[in-house]
A and B are shown apart, each in its own frame.
Chain A
Amino acid sequence: MFSGFMVNTWTVATIVAVVAGVVGFFVVLRGSAFVADALPTGAFAGAAGASLIGVNTLVGLGVFSLAGALGIGWLGRRGRHDVATALTLVLMLGLGALFLSFSVEYAPEIYSLLFGEVLGISVNEVAPVAALGAVCVVAIMVMFRPLMLASVMPELGEARGVRSYRIEMYFLVVIALATSMALPVVGALLIFSLMIGPPAAARSVTDDPYLAMALSVVIAMGTVWAAIAASYASNWPVGFFVGMIGAFCYGAGRGWAAWRRTRVGHGATSTALAR
C-alpha cells in the first residue's frame, strides 16, 4: 500500500488536502460553497472539450475554471451571486454535454474526471500539482487579513481601503487554480467535498481562526488518507469514502459544538459568557 506508484498517490493526495483545507477555510467562511461546487463541475466540461480536440486536459480545465471564476465574479457584481454562479455552471455544463456527445471513447476518462483517479497517479503529475498547490497556499497567506476582513463584513474592509470586489475576484481565481490542480487527480466531486467538509467541521470545534484553518488542513489530510487506505483495501471508489468521511466530520463537528454549548451553558467560560 505504500510502495511503488502508491507513493505518488500519497504525496499528491496530501498536497490536495492541504490546499483544500486552506482554500476551503475561506470558501466556508465566505459562504461560497456553491461556487466551490460549480467551478470544478463546470471545469470538467473543459477537460472533456480538451480531450476531444486532443489538447492536454489540464489546459481545458484551466481555461474553463478561470473563465468560470471571472464570469461568476463579473455577473455577480450587480446581481445575486447564486444566480450568477448557477448561470455560469449551466453554460459550462451545456458545453460539456455537447463535447461529450461528439466524443467516441469517453466513458472511463470522464468517469475519472468526475470521481478521480487517486490510485493511478503517475510520477510526472506530482510536480505540477505541487507547484499549483504552493501558489494557492501562498496566495491565501498573502491575502489572509484583507480576505478575512472582507469576509467578516465587507463594509469594514472598505473603510480600511480593502476593495471587496477585487478581493472577491482574487479569491475566485484562487478557487479556480485549486480546482484545475486537483481535478485530474481527485475528481470534480472529491475536491468539492474536501473543500467543504473539513473546514465546516473545524469551525465548529474552535473559535480561533488560525487554529480553525490548521485544523481544517489536518482533517482534510486525515480524510484523504483514510479514504485512500479504505479504497485500497475494499476496491470501492475513493470518492465514496471521501464524501462519507467528509460528511461524517461535519456531523461530528456540529455534535461537538452542540455538546459544548450545553456543557458550558451555565458556566463562566467560552462562548456562553457572551450571553
Chain B
Amino acid sequence: MTERQPYVSSDEVLAVDGISVWLSGREILHDVRFSLRRGQFAGLIGSNGAGKTTLLRVILGLTAPTAGDVRIGGEPRARRSGGVGYVPQKIQLDPDMPLRARDLVGLGLDGHRFGIPLPSRSRRRLVEEMLRAVGAEKFGDARVGNLSGGEQQRVLIAHALISGPKLLLLDEPLANLDIRSEQEVVSLLARIAKEQQVAVLLSAHEINPLLPVMDRVVYLAAGRAASGTASEVVRTEVLSELYGHHVDVIRVHDRLLVVAGRADEPGAPVSHDDAAPVARAW
C-alpha cells in the first residue's frame, strides 16, 4: 500500500502475522495481520464481539493463537514476558481501597516483584515524572477509587508507561468517558506516542474521536481485519468486503459514518477521493 518508506526492522515494534484464534469451537480471529512502528498511533476499530479484546490478549501473550505469531520489537512473543504496557477495559477501582494514584503508578514499575518496595529517591522521582507526563500530578496523593473516569484513565496510562515499554495497548479507554475527557485522553496518547516514541494501539467502537490523530487503522469485523491508513481502510469497497455485505462509508462534517446498506440500491456512493482528506486531516 502506501508506506512512505520500506520497513526498517529496528523501527518495527509490533508485527501481527496471520493470527487466527479459535475459542470453544468458534473462530474469533481469522488471519489477522498488521504491523506498527515506533511512535505510531493506531486505532483498533470494531463493534462488540468483533474480537478486539481477544486480539489484544494475544498480543499481550495471555491468549495463545491457534495459528500465526506475534513479534514484539522483532522478537517472537514469549508468554507472559511483560514489556508491553496495558490498560484494561472497564476500569472500576474500589473507592474503599487505600491506594493513592502514585502507589498505583509505582506498581507499574515493580508490581510483579517480590517483597515490599524500599523507599528510594529515584523511584519516587520516576513516579513523579510519570504523573506529570499524563497530567496527573495534581491528584497524585488522592485515592484512585475516588477519581473520575478520565483521571483513573490517566493514572492507568502512567502505570502502563512507567516501565518504559515500546508498545502500549489500551482496551476501550474511551468507553464511559464524557466528550471532554475523551478528547483529553486521545490527545494525551497522541502526544505520548510522538514524544516517547511508543507505538499506541487503542481499541474503540467509534473511529471518529481518533481520526485527527490516528496514523493507522486496524478495522475488525467478524474476526477479520483490514489495516492501513484511515483513507485506505475506511472505504466502501474495503469495509463491504470485510463485513461480507454491502456497507456505505459516508462522510459528514469530517466524520465518517459506516452504514449498512443494500448493494442493489444506489445509496449514497462515496468516492475514494472523498474519504482521503479526512484521514489526512491531522
A: residues with CB less than 8 A from B are 29, 141-146, 148-149, 152-153, 155-163, 202-204, 206-212, 270-271, 273-275
CB pair B116 A271 closer than 8 Å: no
Q: Which residue of A lies closest to B147 (CB)?
A: A274
Interface string of B24-61 (1 = CB under 8 A from A): 00000000000000000000000000000000000010
Q: Which residues of B contact A148 (CB under 8 A)?
A: 99, 107, 111
CB pair B97 A149 closer than 8 Å: no
One of A143, A145, A159, A203 near B88 (C-beta < 8 A): A159
CB pair A161 B82 closer than 8 Å: yes
Q: Which residues of A contact B116 (CB under 8 A)?
A: 141, 144-145, 210
**Interface secondary structure of B, over-half rule:** loop
CB distance from A227 to the nearest CB of B (A): 25
- Tell me the number of A-to-B contacts counted with CB atoms below 8 Å: 107
Q: Which residues of B contact A152 (CB under 8 A)?
A: 93, 97, 99, 104, 107
Q: Which residue of B lies closest to A148 (CB)?
A: B107
B121 at the interface (CB under 8 A from A): no
Can you list 27 residue pairs at the A/B interface with Cβ under 8 Å? A144-B116, A145-B107, A145-B112, A145-B117, A148-B111, A149-B111, A153-B88, A153-B93, A155-B86, A155-B88, A157-B112, A158-B62, A159-B88, A160-B82, A160-B112, A162-B112, A163-B80, A202-B98, A203-B96, A203-B97, A206-B98, A207-B99, A207-B141, A208-B103, A270-B141, A271-B143, A273-B139
CA gap between A14 and B84 in the complex, in Å: 44
Q: Which residues of A contact B160 (CB under 8 A)?
A: 159
B138 at the interface (CB under 8 A from A): yes
Considering only residues 62-112 of chain B, those with a C-beta below 8 Å from chain A are 62, 80-82, 84-86, 88, 91, 93, 96-100, 103-104, 107-108, 110-112
| 20 new A-B contacts at CB < 8 Å, known A146-B112, A152-B104, A162-B112 | A29-B98, A142-B115, A145-B113, A146-B114, A148-B107, A152-B93, A152-B97, A156-B88, A157-B111, A158-B80, A159-B82, A159-B84, A203-B96, A207-B98, A208-B103, A209-B99, A211-B98, A274-B143, A274-B147, A275-B146
B216 at the interface (CB under 8 A from A): no
With A141-B116, A145-B111, A161-B112 as known contacts, state yes or no: A209 contacts B103, CB within 8 Å. Answer: yes
B142 at the interface (CB under 8 A from A): yes
Q: Which residues of A contact B91 (CB under 8 A)?
A: 153
B166 at the interface (CB under 8 A from A): no
Q: Which residues of A contact B159 (CB under 8 A)?
A: 156
Q: Which residues of A contact B93 (CB under 8 A)?
A: 152-153
CB distance from B75 to the nearest CB of A (A): 16
CB distance from B151 to the nearest CB of A (A): 7
Q: Which residue of A lies closest to B159 (CB)?
A: A156
Q: Which residues of B contact A160 (CB under 8 A)?
A: 82, 108, 111-112
One of A144, A158, A211, A273 near B138 (C-beta < 8 A): A273
CA gap between A44 and B86 in the complex, in Å: 44
CB pair B98 A209 closer than 8 Å: yes
Q: Which residue of A lies closest to B97 (CB)?
A: A29
Interface string of B166-187 (1 = CB under 8 A from A): 0000000000000000000000
With A161-B80, A207-B99, A209-B99 as known contacts, state yes or no: A146 contacts B141, CB within 8 Å. Answer: no
CB distance from A32 to the nearest CB of B (A): 13
Q: Which residues of B contact A211 (CB under 8 A)?
A: 98
Q: Which residue of B lies closest to A147 (CB)?
A: B111
Q: Which residues of B contact A209 (CB under 8 A)?
A: 98-100, 103
One of B62, B85, B107, B148 near A149 (C-beta < 8 A): B107
Q: Which residue of B lies closest to A151 (CB)?
A: B97
CB distance from A252 to the nearest CB of B (A): 16
CA gap between A208 and B86 in the complex, in Å: 24
Q: Which residues of A contact B97 (CB under 8 A)?
A: 29, 152, 203
CA gap between A271 and B95 in the complex, in Å: 10
Q: Which residues of A contact B81 (CB under 8 A)?
A: 161
One of A141, A149, A270 near B115 (C-beta < 8 A): A141
CB pair A156 B98 closer than 8 Å: no
Q: Which residues of A contact B156 (CB under 8 A)?
A: 156
CB distance from A212 to the nearest CB of B (A): 4
CB distance from B184 to the nearest CB of A (A): 16
Q: Which residue of B lies closest to A154 (CB)?
A: B88
Q: Which residues of A contact B110 (CB under 8 A)?
A: 145
Q: Which residues of B contact A141 (CB under 8 A)?
A: 115-116
CB pair B151 A274 closer than 8 Å: yes
